[in-house]
Structure 1
Amino acid sequence: MALTNDIDDTNTAEALAGRLLTAIRPFRRAAVAFSGGVDSAVVAAAAARECEVAVAVTAVSASLATGELEEARRVAAMIGIPHKVVHTDEFSRPGYQQNAGNRCYFCKTELYERLESLAPDLGVGVLLNGTNLDDLGDHRPGLVAASEHAVRSPLVDAGLRKADVRTIAKLWNVPIWNKPASPCLSSRIAYGVEATPERVKRIDAAELFLKSLLAGRVLRVRCEAGDLARIELPLENLSLLANETVRTQVAARLKELGFRRVTVDLEGFRSGSLNDQLPIIELATPSSGLAGA
């Protein structure tokens, strides 16, 4: 499902783009942590325009959904920025596996440490990410890792919000300007349930199956305690699962993949819905000072 956005004011778009280019100009040799989403794509496009050396680097691990690496490569090629891959092993970090409210801190720490070690070979002197102003008001423990590793956020420096980023992306003909958010597969696992390669592989397969069955619609398969699958669809698409044949197919396939029970969330698709659990998880894990960061 493509997002809609009424973007017609070219002058406004050019002004926003100018702010970003001004913010990124001081960074002459930069590596961009490149997920292939719209935020990092716009930062990469700006770096390609302004930096003497610019490279987009995508982290590859079990938590990357099928198809995301191929799309990142495609987008980087269309932007015109060299693309590299770094293999990360966040699942080996106990804090990541534990999957408390600060899981993303351990993931980003793994990523930034790998990028720092590669920086001399890449010929870069600064790491950039795609954090925008809207992210600062959300639960983002990964921002702590960014600050610990001196990662710069040019979208924040330029005072740009998500809508501004999409405006710039459309102006610059970035092909994914209206792509919905696509966070890592571990973000589907309820806090307090161990994050493992096996679980994310199961989630990936379940989402691929549902997308093929339901014609590629935006959806999530959340993994709750006891390996319960909670399917989230946009409210207007919930009726698709009312069909008995479809419902039977979905339940059978997800149980075959290893889920013990299969449910549908009547509140529909909500990006970041597992963050609703955070107050409970934070009280249950007082030893971590990063859970509420």
Structure 2
Amino acid sequence: KTVMANPLPREPSADPDALAQLRQEAIDKQWSFGVTRLRSQYRMKPKPGAQPVSWVSSPYNRTKNPVYLVSDCVPLRPRQQRSAPTQKQCLARKITSLRSKLRATRFQESILLKQLLERAGRNICVLDTETTGLEAHDQIIELAIVDVAGTPLFTQRFKPTVSIHPKASEVHGIQIGALEHSDGWPTHHHTIQDILKNKTVAIFNADFDLAKLKATSAAFSLDTRWVDELDTLCVMQWAVDIFGATNRYGTISLANTVGECGLTFEGDAHSALADSLMTQRALLSMSELATPLELELDTLQRQKDAL
């Protein structure tokens, strides 16, 4: 008759003599265990051809697991001690980990953005507007343009021919009375064209601002074809590609983009100049997201090659 026992499991001893004593005790007392416990506690496995003395139902599914007498088992081969990894192997592992991290979407998009900006060089400017509202007939009442280094190239308020929607005023704080003595759009129409001509124009939510450039020009019966000819870059779309959308419209706000970049908003939010400067900073920040990892990867690769 097989005596079934269930002593409390113990960690396998690193001392060969203690492990041999543990095995002998189990054999003398005719203990039997499942394969997992035989391996983990006794460092043993069933002999070839050994027959289970019983079967135990698994508590997790309908399978039955075999139970073997310890006396019907043989010791496992001693575990081979792994030698400590060499410095070159450690560097290779770090390089592999960094390369895997750089394959993430945000870093791949950042690399593409950096390449785009490098091709454009300093021939980039950033534009932002404040408007009378969001409708098709609404016009630009404030416009700012800065270069890629953040230097203001143009900043101006305009007197519109339509009223300012109250909700728009709540956002940018501009009242119609404050524009009474401002220039009209036609006064600076050609100046704006000249600044933007032959440049890559970065705009947060480019579709909106481009539509307002056309609508404002059309309101004064001015040519709008120049707007369609602009080479533009939508910073908001790049932010969505890098950080992901943050609302049900599939977009992301400038404030959220600034936060994702780890930047602090400076100036009066929702003024054209402040927003254009923050757009410029966010654009450069997004283009440099992968740079620290690339520099670290280059350093590790040179260290590994030197060994």
User: TM-score category by the smaller chain?
Assistant: under 0.3
* Bigger Rg, which one: 2
Higher strand share: 2
